Amino acid sequence: MIELREVLTPAGEVRIATRGEKLMGLAFLDGWPMVERHLARWFSDDEVRLLHGPNEVARHLDAYMAGDLDALAGIPLEVGGTRFQRRIWRAIQAVPAGETETYAELALVAEAPNAVRAAGSACGANPASLVIPCHRIIRADGDLGNYGGGIERKQWLLGHERRHAR
């Protein structure tokens, strides 16, 4: 069973999908439809239930929003995706809080240096925002590029991390 919970954060309301201790999806509510489609594709046999009250992922999210930038690092994931997407998502997780990498650097780290556009597409398909911190990925010209949660939220998240970085 996939459990959904909603959490209010300083950056907006977030919906979290978990099965047991594993995170399956996390997005700001305005970006949730993409995650919902992702869950339906990869986990279509699972029953989905909206629950109330915090869980372990919500507690980690609260700690991150309070300034503990390492709080999201150890959350176990079960996010589906293609082999390439999972490689890109692991590379995104390696970008330290408060820092950024370009889509080209991301493709290089994922051992697919010619797949810059595909790396960008994998960022856009990220079902676990913040835990797979795609807000840290920017364009080669320094422009922030796209973000499923909106550019203002991407700016807020990067500023939050820079304020609290060690």
pTM for this predicted structure: 0.93
pLDDT at 147 over 90: no
pLDDT at 117 over 90: yes
pLDDT at 159 over 80: yes
Q: What are the helix (H) ranges across 23-141?
A: 32-42, 56-65, 83-93, 103-109, 116-124
Over residues 25-50, the mean pLDDT reads 92
pLDDT, tens digit (0-9, with 9 covering 90-100), for 78-101? 999 999 999 999 999 999 999 999
123 in catalytic set: no
Over residues 17-41, the mean pLDDT reads 94
pLDDT, position 63: 96
Nearest residue to 119 via CA among 139, 134, 136, 103? 103
Over residues 140-159, the mean pLDDT reads 91
Q: Which of 134, 138, 157, 158 is catalytic?
A: 134
Number of H helices, E strands in the chain: 6, 6
pLDDT, tens digit (0-9, with 9 covering 90-100), for 44-79? 888 899 898 888 999 999 999 999 999 999 899 999
Average pLDDT taken over every residue of the chain: 93
Q: Which residues of 138-151 are buried (b: 16+ CB within 10 A; e: fewer)?
A: beeeeeebebbbee
Fold assignment, 83-164: Arc Repressor Mutant, subunit A (1.10.10)
DSSP character at residue 31: G
Q: Where are the domains of the chain?
A: 2-65, 83-164
